[in-house]
Amino acid sequence: MSLDQLYPGETRILGHRGASAYAPMNTLPAFELAADQGADGIELDVHLSKDGALIVLHDFTVDHTTNGIGLVREMTLAELKTLDAGIKFKPTFAGTRIPTLDEVFEHVGHRFSIINVEIKSETENTDGVEQITADTIRRHNMAGKVIVSSFNPLALRRFRQIAPEVPIGYLYAPDYTFLPEIMDALPHEARHPHYSQIDAAYMTAARAAGWRVNTWTVNDPLRARELKALGVDAVITDKPDLMVEALRG
């Protein structure tokens, strides 16, 4: 699978949950601001609601970013839509709602050349999130713009079986690497390491394996320029405006 359409030769800048330093993460205002600041794309997180809706939220609970309490999987879409996903960030964002992936694609999909959809999954068995993610990507004809990532290789393996036309990337960090042996046997297009894991040797190994490298979460301009010089394919950042200035100014 070729990723040339996602990586036209320069280091991509992706808004981490949107422009999340300036607007409530994983909301339409954050995604719209990332586009306004010049980001090439966005990174976002998806879960299934109790009634099978694909919603965009980072945590497995709504407690941290909304005025509600509880597990996402135990709430219906209607219940989730009553929550305020902006007021905890700043009062001026009061009334902001948790979006669905459908809504993100509809409202801002045309503004980006790449969207990284991270499947949030901590279990060995599926709740169906991989199938619904694939269905949503196909329904909006977004396969040419999307890369799907996860910390859970089992979720990536399931997604690959369902939607082999969509590239996948393996997420990991220095203190969290889950079932890497599965990824050794699973063809995949990208690796998504924490930026602290990247040096020249890492990039040499990644290129030898044929992987694109999308790294997170890069907010320091000096480090961003170092990563660009090393040849990373994308930096995922809370501050797209700073990255645009650092890498293209």
Active site residues: 16, 58
Closest CA to 145 of 228, 42, 216: 42
**Rounded Cα gap, residues 28 and 45, in angstroms:** 13
Helix ranges, 82-179 (H): 101-108, 129-139, 153-162
Distance set, CA 33 to CA 23, 30, 39, 51, 241 (Å): 8, 5, 9, 30, 10
Contact 192, 170 (CB under 8 A): yes
Alpha-carbon distance of 89 to 58, in angstroms, equals 14
DSSP secondary structure code for residue 9 in this structure: S
